[in-house]
Structure 1
């Protein structure tokens, strides 16, 4: 019925409506969309209480939403959080429990508030100290929900600041539980300029330890990447010439924030070079940078990749790798590493390096886990006769690795056959519950160039095609004759 109603709205003419009627229709559509969000909460609650994610082999409701709805991880997290705060959950006996934010849930069910209103209210509620009694907390939520029915999300957030000041006028109600709840550091994705935004809050202990580090490493003149004569490391090191430091400080035009950033970078490099972090998944804990031989020879242009899924300009990658140990890995025209075998069950460090360059991260479709969070997986199980040869190995994160099994909800893996579009790549075969046809799928997330190629080919093709999901698509235009994969890579371990 909902789909039919949407079809009718898409087909309906709007030119005959008056200006006022257009606005009224916009209001009606918005109200309906807000109410469907409440329906979405019910569906999330239902899937969790039925243990649907676990029955389908997913480790969390978020993973299920990403796979089933093809939404972003951030969107999936927001939906699960909203369902947890606004949904009606049930006890083990089946009795319904009121939502965490009951007045907010009612306002959304009525279609009076949207997701932005909900986020503004929840943001304020999370900042109320534990010491505030439950009745005051309930009153605060009711006040904000009532305001949200007639105000914008920005108005709600602004009113929330006043409300917090009223509930805790002298700031004395916060305690250690509040600080533990609020602590955290978030690192955003790299943007179009490859910069990453950091935000968060430090608890008093972390701040107390950070301050003396910045006092020494972020002082003017120290660790300045733009000044080749700037001293590196600890500003109190007796080996540093005081006159050199003073001259570097006089030349230093960085802001305090820039000096803090450069100090963090210097501390990270020193920590990695110290070796105190030990090995990680069979390799030293260090920066692993992958670039093609052509990029290495030109020493400019393009981007290198890291085992953690990051991107580096070639110039920066080479600077980082000045003291590195280079490893040359050769790949065939399909982008797969040439034979590198082993008789033991566990892959060698060299095989892992080759897989980092070839796979880039977890090979399960839809997973974005970088290589640093992956284990080496036998495409054909070791106990079933699989060999520890490079052409039979793949990177898989721990969560996805647990989904490869012979149970009814288990996935299977295999190498794409030689005649297929992505020969040698790891294909994942879903269980019948997810896809009754069990069509093999391939992860393109760590190879965005493939999707770009397909999009370009689709634009010039007379018929629109969906992106290839597996090796069983030999007829997809623009793919059969694609250029040889440039990933003939040199892996460089920077910082150590």
Structure 2
């Protein structure tokens, strides 16, 4: 239990303790362990693991307070931006830590009353440093899989049992114990529509060096029924990815046919034109490239001596090899932003309207690729069009005044927490405490070339 002290005393006490920890780490790093023997090394590993787990527990406590400050200080968006910048961890990891912290710490209701932690036994174990992150994930997964029909008292007992076992087994064994508990509490495997809706998920993993992406998730019964129908249609010899050569030429595995069925369903849905609009565009694939690269790709397709140009970029921030781009463009209509081909299009609207046109969003896709706020990785699909010079006083809805910004950062500008300026064709941001900076997250080639924001913040 943390000891209550004044704000100034707490800052001094915590900082002094962190300085002592830094000094101890420096001493350990400077001490050779070449001759201590493996028995002692195991002892060291045991102590270091315990300290890391305690430190992790403190980190969750701090993340919980950052997400819901006891003193009510700071906006959530500003706090996330600060954590993102200082710790250099992904937004997904920030969200994961905040969500777990919310489950293991006391909350406050809208009336000010305190609400006990959702997982109090797990909270105690995390604070004590007796379990690691892998144990935490296994316990949360085991509890979350239980249906809503299981009484709260039995869920609490399951949590306590899992935490108790976590101190003696690894996470793999703990997952099996969790499954056995689920079998005991829900022997008939009964799950309500609410249970299934709560557990449905589909996660698109990061794109690998070969352009492939891992897809994981759980489908509800209705979605599975749709998927089964599509995969049945893509039987051997049907809907081959290249040309329809007949059943004898189909060497795809069942898993590969399932992949092709999903692609067929998605492309058919997009081509139908019945998915509505997204930020002014019909829901479709947005790709940006250059005319030079398109020409090079066209020649490379017919001449093996010509190298294929770098991949184009989608509005979601993924890489699309030029061969795939040409194939997609031949099958259905997509928004293809080609720099050199847009000079004759009506991009400058002056004061005619405030909302950006579809053409202007394409230019933002091509130039910005995503949110322009420093370090923000939100892709273009998730961005709004921001007026660098505010529209209301004298800003114009012209392409050179329009830039991408995700909703939270756009709100920061609207509410005065951030300020933007255009420098050298790029949008620079500042909160007033430092020089304006541009975003390199969507332009990593700039960092590879050694490009950084200059000290004067010009963003050149």
Alignment CA distance shift 1:54-1:444 (3 Å): farther
- Counterpart of 1:265 in structure 2 is 263
- Residue of 354, 358, 375 corresponding to 2:363: 354
User: How far, CA to CA, are the matches of 1:128 and 1:171 in structure 2?
Assistant: 10
Give the structure with the larger helix fraction.
2
Deviation at 1:391, TM superposition (A): 1.7
Deviation at 1:447, TM superposition (A): 0.7
User: How far, CA to CA, are the matches of 1:382 and 1:3 in structure 2?
Assistant: 49
- Counterpart of 1:412 in structure 2 is 419
Deviation at 1:78, TM superposition (A): 2.1
- Counterpart of 2:456 in structure 1 is 472
User: How far, CA to CA, are the matches of 1:201 and 1:47 in structure 2?
Assistant: 31
C-alpha contact (below 8 Å) 1:222/1:249 kept by paired residues: yes
- Residue of 399, 423, 427 corresponding to 2:408: 399
RMSD over equivalenced CA pairs, Å: 2.9
Deviation at 1:397, TM superposition (A): 2.0
Q: After superposition, what is the alpha-carbon deviation per residue over 1:106-132, rounded to whole angstroms, capped at 9, x for unaligned?
A: 222222111111111111111112222
Q: After superposition, what is the alpha-carbon deviation per residue over 1:412-435, rounded to whole angstroms, capped at 9, x for unaligned?
A: 11101xxxxxx221001115xxxx
C-alpha contact (below 8 Å) 2:276/2:282 kept by paired residues: yes
Alignment CA distance shift 1:54-1:357 (3 Å): farther
Instruction: List runs of 5+ in structure 1 lacking aligned partners.
Output: 231-247, 417-422, 432-436, 455-466, 481-496
**Relative contact order (alpha carbons < 8 A, sep ≥ 6): 1 or 2 greater?**
1
- After TM superposition, the structure 1 = structure 2 runs for residues 23-422 of structure 1, keeping only pairs within 5 Å, are 23-50=42-69, 55-56=74-75, 58=77, 65-91=83-109, 96-172=114-190, 174-216=191-233, 218-226=234-242, 228-230=243-245, 248-299=246-297, 300-322=308-330, 324=333, 328-330=338-340, 340-343=347-350, 344=352, 345-405=354-414, 407=416, 410-416=417-423
C-alpha contact (below 8 Å) 2:365/2:380 kept by paired residues: yes
* Residues matched between the structures, number: 426
Alignment CA distance shift 1:280-1:89 (3 Å): closer
Instruction: List runs of 5+ in structure 2 lacking aligned partners.
Output: 1-16, 298-307
C-alpha contact (below 8 Å) 1:86/1:100 kept by paired residues: yes
C-alpha contact (below 8 Å) 1:190/1:310 kept by paired residues: yes
Alignment CA distance shift 1:326-1:48 (3 Å): closer
Q: After superposition, what is the alpha-carbon deviation per residue over 1:131-176, rounded to whole angstroms, capped at 9, x for unaligned?
A: 222222121111110111121111211211222122222323x222
TM-score, normalization: structure 2?
A: 0.84
Q: After superposition, what is the alpha-carbon deviation per residue over 1:460-479, rounded to whole angstroms, capped at 9, x for unaligned?
A: xxxxxxx73467357xxxx9
Deviation at 1:358, TM superposition (A): 0.7
C-alpha contact (below 8 Å) 1:404/1:412 kept by paired residues: yes
User: How far, CA to CA, are the matches of 2:215 and 2:440 in structure 1?
Assistant: 27
Residue 107 of structure 2 aligns to a residue whose secondary structure is coil
TM-score, normalization: structure 1?
A: 0.78
